[in-house]
Amino acid sequence: MKPEIQSQIGARIDAGAMLDNVKNWCAINTGTGNIEGLKKQASALADAFSVLPGEVELVDPAPVTGIAADGSEFEIANGQHLIVRVRPTANRRVLFTGHMDTVFPKDYPFKLLSWLDDEVLNGPGVADMKGGIAVILHALMAFEASGKSSSLGYDILINADEETGSLASSALIAEMARGKMAALTYEPAALPDGTLAHARGGTGNYSITLKGKSAHAGRNPEEGRNALVAAADLILRLKSMEREDITINPAKLEGGGPNNVVPDHAILRFNIRPKSTEAMEGFDSALGTLLRDIEAAHEITAHRHGGVTRPPKPVDDKAQALFDLVKECGAQLGQEIGWKSTGGVCDGNNIAACGVPVVDTMGVRGGSIHSADEFLIVPSLKERAALSALVISRLAEGALAGDMN
């Protein structure tokens, strides 16, 4: 049975075309802030995904703001997101997600593709995740050619801001996850051997602006209210809030001025990594109380910006059933599929928070992502497309117990 399945699915997947897609897409710089590059990439993806029997749409990003070093709020530009909707009235519906942005900005020197050996390609975004986008496209092309597609509808979302937390697409992710029986996300495999990411912790980014009162450090220091001292106190109190289920990383402190002036301004930026929903919610509540205490103790004001961007992603019974299905399909194709928990985060966290089971590392095998050593194991393009195509076919047949039919 195994060779027959491999032959049937393999015949519908063009490995050369997949590699051409990756090469062409990686030649376009799509750092999250490179709006021009993202526009070019979105257009190329719209053309590529138009082969599927659905409607292709480019959607404007939601507004996102940040906090500048002087404490002012400013708008952050993001690129458009790509959406494809196929058979939206089907009873069984699945969500596929990926991202077109990379961590490499327009002026980053890492731009060219190079072969490390006959099967390993080095280049910006080859694994994270232009290779993954190629897997989505060609797996769905194979599924559509299988003769089993009429019973399954699906939506595809390729967002443009995943690498900065999906703040301009999180509402869109939630909207598109609604009503889906399952979701597959195409981050690269957790390990080069194809291991999947299982449970994930969450993450949140905060900027706290502290405003005190300026005074001369020699003549009348008692009239000042030192924002840096308040920030230092806040840092120590934040670290004391760490527990087994949450870590807190004060990452950057900005503010101050001449040595003879009591500083009236400081900004503290920090990250949290909650391992559970309870830890996430408990921290959010405790932070409000802590900031009020800091304000009272130092007679300053504290303004909070940001919060949790990726909720923790536990694996419940429904999600485990999807993992088991992927493992079973892998076995039928001669692929050994395992998984491990990780502290990393992705759009799978957001999808799971909507109550939809998700496997979020269905992309290529590779490694060294977010660095100039990033690589793609090229045979994994066809390998992972075949895996997805089989999983999708099984979903169309109602393989998940308790699905919408």
Instruction: Please give the Cα distance from 228 to 193 (Å, whole number).
Output: 48
Q: How many CA atoms lie within 13 A of 372 on its CB side?
A: 6
| Predicted pLDDT at 404 | 44
Pairing of strands 375-377, 261-262: unpaired
Domains 2-201+313-396 and 203-310 share a fold: no
Query: Which of 130, 271, 125, 291 is CA-nearest to residue 206?
Result: 271
Q: What is the CATH number of domain 203-310?
A: 3.30.70.360
Write the pLDDT tens digit of every residue in 263-302. Answer: 999 999 999 999 999 999 999 999 999 999 999 999 999 9
Please write down the HEC assignment for all residues of the chain: CHHHHHHHHHCCCCHHHHHHHHHHHHCCCCECCCHHHHHHHHHHHHHHHCCCCCEEEEECCCCCEEECCCCCEEECCCCCEEEEEECCCCCEEEEEEEECCECCCCCCCCCCCEEEECCEEECCCHHHHHHHHHHHHHHHHHHHCCCCHHHEEEEEEEECCHHHCCCCCHHHHHHHHCCCCEEEEECCCCCCCCCEEEEECCEEEEEEEEECECEECCCCHHHCECHHHHHHHHHHHHHHCCECCEEEEEEEEEECCCCCEECCEEEEEEEEEECCHHHHHHHHHHHHHHHHHHHHHHCCEEEEEEEEEECCECCCHHHHHHHHHHHHHHHHCCCCCCEEEECCCCHHHHHHCCCCCEECECCCCEECCCCCCCEEECCHHHHHHHHHHHHHHHHHCCCCCCCCC
| Predicted pLDDT at 10 | 77
> What does the mean pLDDT of the chain come to?
96
Domain chopping of the chain, boundaries: 2-201+313-396, 203-310
Q: Is the pLDDT of residue 402 over 90?
A: no
Instruction: Please give the Cα distance from 338 to 324 (Å, whole number).
Output: 10
Instruction: Please give the Cα distance from 174 to 342 (Å, whole number).
Output: 22
Instruction: Please give the Cα distance from 310 to 352 (Å, whole number).
Output: 10
Fold classification of 2-201+313-396 (topology level): Aminopeptidase (3.40.630)
Instruction: Please give the Cα distance from 284 to 272 (Å, whole number).
Output: 10
Write the pLDDT tens digit of every residue in 369-383. Answer: 999 999 999 999 999
User: What's the pLDDT band for 8 if we cut at 50, 70, 90?
Assistant: confident
| Predicted pLDDT at 356 | 98
| Predicted pLDDT at 11 | 87
Share of the chain above pLDDT 90, in %: 95
| Predicted pLDDT at 143 | 97
Q: Is the pLDDT of residue 405 over 50?
A: no
Three-point CA angle 356, 360, 364, nearest 5°:
150
